[in-house]
Structure 1
């Protein structure tokens, strides 16, 4: 396993729709290694979800660790229902230090397969449902800020175009690089603590 570099905006891979994982890869060592590395990367920065495009891979795949549930889904299909919810706030490892409340369905269910090709399904409400919707959006080339409405949408666009956001992104990427180096024992011992609750 290895810690992977998390891509941040404006990396074009984040805006590209992923391709389905070919069934011939199910059970392969390479696919399992990617999933394990994504889990390790997500845990290193204390995220709750991580989609393959966020580590530069155009595969329909995401991993998660939230509410005492941990797993991965390959080639997910999502169902949502219930009234739109605007809480809790959402953040994204690929859009550092910005938090907003895009409307998300109250309930969500994702089904797909695991790395062995066996069917899996995960269902939840509230924060868990929000996470599922957030990760599947990544596989469609969408970011959580794309889901914002009206004034909040305009606010996010202004924030992402600002110098402070560019500087924050650079700072976060440097901190993550130090985190990776520290994990492998080659970097500073006083690494910056990562933020929580982002995907």
Structure 2
């Protein structure tokens, strides 16, 4: 089942999400539906707040990035087939140089901007079987994880832009929250006028 993606402006995207335990109702089914929703929208990551649930789960599948010719063979291999569920994640450390990359977000369609993030992260999380993991990721993989992690902390990539950029995007962001945008996947808009 595909869920509608929650658009920019909805308060759920601003909440720090709550941890869950392994008895969370229908967890396997929720994760399966999140994968379906993400693939339906051609995403590489999706966090539970983006489907209206303020809980600490996000999923990542970086396979679509693996055929980017600008990446080294090693980077392509790292991204190809990387598919992971992150539950109750905590980024323990961010290190390395900050570098810019053009990011987008399923909750903020049609806006892409360069965002600076550190190169390497160490993250603690539970996988979908509730086995504890402590892993280090770098490069594009780390970036996708950081972007999704921000969602469970109530942070959007647009928050990381300069004041000027934010001002320039204000009208477009307002239009997204009102549903004045064409997207090819289901969305729920917080400020959409009824009858549209």
- Length-normalised TM-score, structure 2: 0.78
Cα displacement string for residues 79-125 of structure 1 (whole angstroms, at most 9, x for unaligned residues): 21112111x20000000100011211111232211232201344322
Q: Given that residues 59 and 86 in structure 2 are in contact (C-alpha distance below 8 angstroms), is that contact kept between their aligned partners in structure 1? A: yes
Provide the C-alpha distance between the structure 1 equivalents of 2:180 and 2:61, rounded to a whole number of angstroms.
24
Aligned residue-pair number: 169
1:22 Cα offset (Å): 2.4
Aligned to 1:82: 96
Cα displacement string for residues 25-46 of structure 1 (whole angstroms, at most 9, x for unaligned residues): 3xx6x00111111111111111
Aligned to 1:93: 106
1:11 Cα offset (Å): 1.5
Provide the C-alpha distance between the structure 2 equivalents of 1:105 and 1:150, rounded to a whole number of angstroms.
20
1:10 paired to 2:23: no
Q: Given that residues 102 and 149 in structure 1 are in contact (C-alpha distance below 8 angstroms), is that contact kept between their aligned partners in structure 2? A: no
Query: Which blocks of at least 5 consecutive residues in structure 1 are unaligned?
Result: 179-199
- 2:128 maps to which of 115, 126, 136: 115
1:10 Cα offset (Å): 1.3
Question: Between Structure 1 and Structure 2, which shows a larger proportion of helix residues?
Answer: 1
Aligned to 1:127: 140
Aligned to 1:19: 18
Q: Please give the residue correspondences for 1:34-183 in structure 2 after superposition, counting only pairs within 5 Å.
A: 34-66=30-62, 67-68=79-80, 69-78=82-91, 79-86=93-100, 88-161=101-174, 163=175, 165=176, 170-172=181-183, 175-177=184-186
Give the 3 Å change call, closer, same or farther, for CA 83–169 of structure 1 in structure 2.
farther
1:18 Cα offset (Å): 0.6
Q: Given that residues 51 and 61 in structure 1 are in contact (C-alpha distance below 8 angstroms), is that contact kept between their aligned partners in structure 2? A: yes
1:152 Cα offset (Å): 2.6
Question: Between Structure 1 and Structure 2, which shows a larger proportion of strand residues?
Answer: 2
Provide the C-alpha distance between the structure 1 equivalents of 2:40 and 2:181, rounded to a whole number of angstroms.
18
1:54 Cα offset (Å): 0.3
1:150 Cα offset (Å): 4.0
1:155 Cα offset (Å): 2.5
Aligned to 1:101, the other structure's residue is in SS state strand
Query: Which blocks of at least 5 consecutive residues in structure 2 are unaligned?
Result: 63-78, 188-196
Q: Given that residues 13 and 155 in structure 2 are in contact (C-alpha distance below 8 angstroms), is that contact kept between their aligned partners in structure 1? A: yes
Pairwise CA RMSD: 2.1
Provide the C-alpha distance between the structure 1 equivalents of 2:90 and 2:46, rounded to a whole number of angstroms.
16
